[in-house]
Structure formats: structure tokens, C-alpha cells
């Protein structure tokens, strides 16, 4: 059992305890491709979306050096026809590219030496796995020799964060070339690949670059956050899985749904961020676990790029709007941006937005990600237009807390006339978009819950103060061509505050209406 060649199943065993959510159905999709013409897979996902968990699971399943029946016999994959056919039947090469990059930095070795470091590590492991293997000139010759031994098997390559080298060496063309040549030798070598490679499963953050420089992996089938295909169901947790976790860990499901649901992928309309759900279950509380990722650090730089009114678009997104975008020109890297849509497409791949392929539109998926946009708004590096927007929104919040309905209505009138407002202001949904945008400063002080089930109905928008906030909770009901007073009456009659018992004595009822005949907003604010 080696470190990289046939590393066994211990890594998966450590994470497959009682709280493990069964994602082994993914193995069937890989099994269907093993040994076939479409056996090379590249799956791109944001950070913290279970890429490493999947790599450990696949390694444990295919690795011939161990017996993994106890790990998989009661899992979904065990009920498939090909379960035993592939279980522990292959040589496995499992690589986490970030570990090699870290080692290079610690040892003060240039990135151009990383491919050679990988070769040396694999040759050492291979010789330990096959001590009688005759030495050959190259790693590929030795791998091929191992695969063709009477007791040998072809290799399944599992490469986690394959694009880390491309990202880290973005200014080092020689290092990138050396790395891509290594991959080319494995996956594009007509004398090696068909005989020695049964399949490859690679994960990364971004899809393969479009400029042709990465032809070493052009034969891979790609599944991304834009077009996940049949892998969509294994991108995150399903609603059924999350409900079970919430029940087991005694945490409110509706709150977890508001914080971590919202990714819409190829018909999978309830996809949850797995890392965040598990973290919330451990802590018995919902908050943003997103800001611990390195991707969050660069968000300000991306959003401050004001291509084609990008900042106005981001303001609309924060307000809850869905924005149509074109993803076709994005070059799948972190450097080359030509349009607003390039930046928005990157944000989809990073998980800050979710993309509806049918509508060709994107929106912020959930409260956790919205909280990350708050960090952007609180950053001293934001432009003057953002500062003006936040100042006005804070005044609106203060007017609301004071119960000044006239001031709130006047602010909505002003905002309605700006570019941020929906192009067609003709229904309650458009009114909701304006209201959520107007209260943009609430992000961080409140969690906004749309269509919150409570009492005898569903409240339009609930603003729930964060634990450190001393602000009142707010229930907002919106009316189109009806009265603000009618909105307040509906809140009371249908008991929309029923779920807000922890805030008893500190709840505001906010009724907001728009009259098409007069073109005026009205607002009424009362204490519960």
C-alpha cells in the first residue's frame, strides 16, 4: 500500500462514519465509462463542494490493494449490477495536486520541478507495490509493465484539483508546459493510454481553458457548474438528504434551506452546499462557512471590475434579481475578462452564483453566499457608487426601525427610477426586487428569508436579525394595487409572526404597496 499508488481505503474510512451522506451513486456513472471510449472525466466544482470526498470514495472503491466491502456493501452502489465487477479490481493512482505545490513551496523548489516531483513519488510507490518490477527508463514504461503483469491491472487515475498547477503557475509557461506534458503522456499517448489507463477522474475549480494550450486533456468529457449533466445530482446534497441530517442533528430544516440551498443544476432544483450543511449540523447553528475559502479573498477584485455596468448588475443580484448572462466567451481562467458576463460566469464556477441553463440566467443561490457579498460591501476598497448606495440603504433601515413609513415610501420612489430597478415594473415580484435592493445594507445584520412558511400562510419576506444584532425582526408583506394597511392585516390574520417567537416583543410589521394608477408607493409600519 503506497501513498499515491494504491493508497488503500483508509482516507475514505475516516470520513464514512455515521454522519456520512451516501453519494456512492456517483461510482455507477464512472463504472459505466471504465474501459470505454469516454473513460476520461473532468468534473469542475467550487471549493468546499466535496471534490476531495469523491476522490477518496473512488479510490477506496477501485483500489485492488484493499477489501472495501464493509465500506460499500450497504451503500447505494451495492445495488447496481456492476458493483462486484469493479470493486477493488484496479491499480489506482491518486494525486492531490495541491499537496505537491505545497511541498514545492516548503522545499523552496520552483514550480517547474513539480512534474518531476510527481514522477519521482510515483516511481518510488510503484517499486514498493511491485518490488520485482524490472526498472525501465520512464515512469510510463514501468506503469505499462505493471499493468501487463499476469497479476496486474490497468490504472484508474484520480486527480484532485488538477488545475491547481495551472492556477499557481499562471505566469510560468515552462512550468505549465512541463505539467501538461506529464498529463499528455498519460492520457494522450496512443501506445500507453489504451493499455494502461482504465479511466481517469479529475476534479478542478474551472473547466479546461478554451485557448487550446491544454490540448493534453482535450479528450476529457467535462461536467461543470454550467452544464453538470448527469453528474448534477452528485454536485451537492439533495433536499431529502438534508432533511435527514437536520432531523438527526436537531437543527431547523427551514433555516438550513434558506442558508445553503439554491443551486439549480440540470433539473436538480434543490442542491445544497455539502460542506456548509455538515458544518451547520456540527455547530447546531447556521452561518457562513464560505469565507474560509481562498476564493472569497479575490471577490472584491472581480466585482470592482466595472465592465458594462457590472456593479449595477451586482447590486441587482444582491437585491434578489435574476440576471440573464452569456457564458460562451468566458476563457475558463482567472485573468482574462473582457465583459461583464465573463466576470459573472466566473462567479458561477466559484459558487457565488447559480446558473439556470434553461433561462440562461444567474442569481445568488442562498443566504450564505449573500453574506459573502456583504463582506464585499463592507470592504474599504469598494467604489464611490457602492458607498453612496450603502449610505442611502442604511438611512432607509433607520427610517424603518423608527416606523417612518412615509420616508420608506419616498426612498422606494427614488430607487424605482434608477437603473438598478427591474426593467418591467408590473407585478409584485418586481416590487419585491426593488424592496430587497433598497434594504441592501441589511445583509450582515439580517438574514432575509423569502416566502417564509409561518402561521396560516407564507410571508413575502422576513428579516431575521443576526445573533449579534439588536435590531427588531421584520415581516414584510407586499401588495400590488392594494393597500399597505391590507398588507398589515394579512400579516396579523395569518399569523406570519408565529415562527418568530424568539424575537417576541421586538418585531415590526411592514406593509408596502404600489398603486399602478397613481404610480405611488405607500408604507405602513406597526409593532407586532
User: What is the tens place of the pLDDT at every residue in 56-99?
Assistant: 999 999 999 999 999 999 999 999 999 999 999 999 999 999 99
% of the chain exceeding 70 in pLDDT: 93
Average per-residue pLDDT in the chain?
88
DSSP 333: S
**Pair 403, 361 in one domain:** no
**Pair 201, 247 in one domain:** no
Highest mean pLDDT among 208-217, 358-367, 462-471: 358-367
Flag whether pLDDT at 295 surpasses 60.
no
Residue 228 belongs to a domain: no
Of the pLDDT bands very low, low, confident and very high (cuts 50, 70, 90), residue 296 is very low
- HSE-CB for 448 with a 13 A CA cutoff: 26
Q: Work out the average pLDDT over 397-408.
A: 93
Flag whether pLDDT at 145 surpasses 50.
yes
Cβ proximity of 65 and 5 under 8 Å: no
pLDDT at 383 (0 to 100): 66
Flag whether pLDDT at 297 surpasses 60.
no
**CATH code of residue 397:** 3.40.1350
pLDDT at 82 (0 to 100): 95
**Pair 338, 424 in one domain:** no
User: What is the tens place of the pLDDT at every residue in 249-265?
Assistant: 999 998 899 899 989 88
**CATH code of residue 177:** 3.40.50
Residue 229 belongs to a domain: no
**Pair 219, 275 in one domain:** no
Beta strands in 357-481 (DSSP E): 361-363, 446-454, 457-465, 473-480
Residue 160 belongs to a domain: yes
- Rounded to a whole number, what is the distance in angstroms from the first to the last CA of the chain? 65
Residue 233 belongs to a domain: no
Beta-carbon count within 10 A of 7 CB: 21
Q: Which of 195, 223, 251 is the last residue of a domain?
A: 223
Alpha helices, H only, 250-366 = 253-260, 274-283, 299-303, 310-318, 340-349
**Pair 194, 289 in one domain:** no
**Pair 160, 187 in one domain:** yes
Q: Which of 223, 257, 280 is the last residue of a domain?
A: 223
Cβ proximity of 217 and 187 under 8 Å: yes
3-state secondary structure of 355: strand
User: What is the tens place of the pLDDT at every residue in 474-483?
Assistant: 999 999 999 9
- Residue 47 CA to its chain's centroid (Å): 7
pLDDT at 380 (0 to 100): 63
Of the pLDDT bands very low, low, confident and very high (cuts 50, 70, 90), residue 150 is confident
Q: Which residues make beta-bridge pairs with 268?
A: 265
> What are the two backbone dihedrals, phi and then psi, of residue 459, each rounded to the nearest 5 degrees?
-80, 140
The bridge status of strand 221-223 relative to strand 323-324 is: unpaired
Name which of 84, 73, 90 is nearest 34 in CA terms.
Answer: 90
User: What is the tens place of the pLDDT at every residue in 316-360?
Assistant: 787 777 889 999 888 888 878 888 999 999 999 999 999 998 889
Residue 232 belongs to a domain: no
Instruction: Say how many domains are in the chain.
Output: 3
Measured distance CA(314)–CA(183) in Å, rounded: 38
pLDDT at 360 (0 to 100): 92
Of the pLDDT bands very low, low, confident and very high (cuts 50, 70, 90), residue 470 is confident
Alpha helices, H only, 107-163 = 114-129, 139-147
Flag whether pLDDT at 458 surpasses 90.
no
The residues, ordered by sequence, that sit 6+ positions from 229 with a Cβ below 8 Å of its Cβ are: 223, 266
Q: What is the DSSP secondary-structure string of 56-76?
A: HHHHHHHBTTS--HHHHTTSG
**Pair 351, 252 in one domain:** yes
**Pair 116, 92 in one domain:** yes
Flag whether pLDDT at 154 surpasses 90.
yes
% of the chain exceeding 90 in pLDDT: 56
Residue 382 belongs to a domain: no
Name which of 512, 430, 433, 518 is nearest 479 in CA terms.
Answer: 512
Flag whether pLDDT at 424 surpasses 80.
no
pLDDT at 439 (0 to 100): 82
The bridge status of strand 323-324 relative to strand 40-44 is: unpaired
Angle CA(212)–CA(50)–CA(318) in degrees, nearest 5?
A: 80
Q: Which of 377, 412, 430 is the last residue of a domain?
A: 377
Residue 206 belongs to a domain: yes
**Pair 314, 436 in one domain:** no
Which of 292-296, 382-386, 449-453 shows the lowest per-residue confidence on average (mean pLDDT)?
Answer: 292-296
Flag whether pLDDT at 485 surpasses 50.
yes
Beta strands in 353-467 (DSSP E): 354-356, 361-363, 446-454, 457-465
Q: Which three cell numbers stand for residue 275?
A: 460542506
8: region left, alpha or beta (phi > 0 left; psi from -120 to 50 alpha)? left
Q: Work out the average pLDDT over 220-238.
A: 92
Q: Which three cell numbers stand for residue 454?
A: 409561518
Residue 231 belongs to a domain: no
Of the pLDDT bands very low, low, confident and very high (cuts 50, 70, 90), residue 291 is low
**Pair 372, 421 in one domain:** no
What pTM did the predictor assign?
0.82
Measured distance CA(489)–CA(483) in Å, rounded: 10
**Pair 216, 243 in one domain:** no
Measured distance CA(159)–CA(237) in Å, rounded: 22
Domain span including residue 417: 393-527
Alpha helices, H only, 130-172 = 139-147, 164-168
**Pair 72, 198 in one domain:** yes
Name which of 438, 412, 428, 426 is nearest 524 in CA terms.
Answer: 412
Amino acid at each position: 500500500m503506497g501513498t499515491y499508488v494504491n493508497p488503500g481505503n483508509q482516507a475514505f474510512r475516516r470520513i464514512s462514519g455515521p454522519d456520512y451522506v451516501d453519494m456512492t451513486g456517483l461510482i455507477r456513472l464512472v463504472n459505466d465509462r471504465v474501459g470505454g471510449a469516454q473513460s476520461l472525466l473532468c468534473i469542475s466544482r467550487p471549493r468546499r463542494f466535496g471534490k476531495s470526498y469523491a476522490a477518496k470514495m473512488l479510490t477506496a472503491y477501485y483500489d485492488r490493494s484493499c477489501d472495501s466491502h464493509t465500506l460499500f456493501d450497504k451503500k447505494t452502489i451495492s445495488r447496481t449490477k456492476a458493483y462486484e465487477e469493479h470493486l477493488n479490481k484496479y491499480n489506482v493512482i491518486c494525486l492531490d495536486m495541491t499537496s505537491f505545490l505545497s511541498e514545492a513551496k516548503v522545499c523552496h523548489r520552483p514550480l517547474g520541478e513539480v512534474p518531476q516531483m510527481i514522477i519521482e513519488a510515483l516511481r518510488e510507490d510503484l517499486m514498493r507495490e511491485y518490488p520485482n518490477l524490472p526498472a525501465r527508463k520512464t515512469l510510463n514504461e514501468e506503469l505499462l509493465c505493471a499493468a501487463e503483469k499476469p497479476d496486474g491491472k490497468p490504472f484508474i487515475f484520480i486527480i484532485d484539483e488538477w488545475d491547481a498547477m495551472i492556477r499557481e503557475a499562471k505566469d510560468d509557461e515552462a512550468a505549465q508546459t512541463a505539467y501538461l506534458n506529464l498529463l499528455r503522456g498519460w492520457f494522450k499517448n496512443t501506445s500507453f493510454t489504451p493499455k494502461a489507463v482504465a479511466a481517469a477522474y479529475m476534479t478542478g475549480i474551472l473547466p479546461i481553458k478554451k485557448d487550446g494550450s491544454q490540448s493534453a486533456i482535450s479528450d476529457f468529457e467535462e461536467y461543470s457548474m454550467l452544464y453538470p449533466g448527469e453528474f448534477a445530482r452528485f454536485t451537492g446534497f439533495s433536499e431529502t438528504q438534508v432533511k435527514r441530517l437536520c432531523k438527526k442533528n436537531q437543527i431547523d430544516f427551514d433555516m438550513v434551506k434558506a442558508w445553503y440551498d439554491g443551486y439549480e443544476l440540470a433539473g436538480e432544483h434543490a442542491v445544497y452546499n455539502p460542506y456548509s450543511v455538515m458544518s451547520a449540523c456540527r455547530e447546531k447553528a447556521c452561518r457562513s462557512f464560505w469565507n474560509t475559502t481562498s476564493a472569497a479573498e479575490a471577490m472584491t477584485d472581480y466585482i470592482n471590475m466595472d465592465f458594462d455596468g457590472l456593479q449595477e448588475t451586482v447590486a441587482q443580484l444582491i437585491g434578489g434579481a435574476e440576471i440573464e448572462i452569456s457564458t460562451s466567451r468566458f476563457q475558463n481562467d482567472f485573468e482574462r475578462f473582457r465583459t461583464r458576463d465573463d466576470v459573472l460566469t466566473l462567479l458561477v464556477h466559484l459558487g457565488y452564483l447559480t446558473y439556470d441553463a434553461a433561462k440562461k440566467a444567474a442569481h445568488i443561490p442562498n443566504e450564505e453566499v449573500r453574506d459573502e457579498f456583504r463582506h464585499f460591501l463592507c470592504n474599504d476598497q469598494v467604489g464611490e457608487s457602492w458607498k453612496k448606495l450603502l449610505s442611502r440603504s442604511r438611512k432607509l433601515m433607520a427610517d424603518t426601525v423608527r416606523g417612518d413609513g412615509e420616508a420608506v415610501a419616498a426612498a422606494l420612489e427614488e430607487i424605482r427610477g434608477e437603473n438598478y430597478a427591474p426593467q418591467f415594473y408590473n407585478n409584485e415580484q418586481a416590487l419585491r426586487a426593488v424592496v430587497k435592493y433598497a434594504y441592501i445594507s441589511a445583509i450582515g445584520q439580517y438574514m432575509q428569508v423569502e416566502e417564509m412558511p409561518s402561521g396560516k400562510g407564507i410571508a413575502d419576506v422576513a428579516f431575521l436579525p443576526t445573533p449579534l444584532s439588536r435590531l427588531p425582526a421584520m415581516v414584510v408583506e407586499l401588495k400590488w394595487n392594494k393597500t399597505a394597511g391590507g398588507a398589515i392585516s394579512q400579516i396579523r390574520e395569518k399569523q406570519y409572526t408565529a415562527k418568530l417567537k424568539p424575537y417576541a416583543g421586538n418585531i415590526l410589521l411592514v406593509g408596502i404597496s404600489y398603486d399602478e394608477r397613481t404610480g405611488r408607493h405607500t408604507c405602513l409600519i406597526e409593532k407586532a
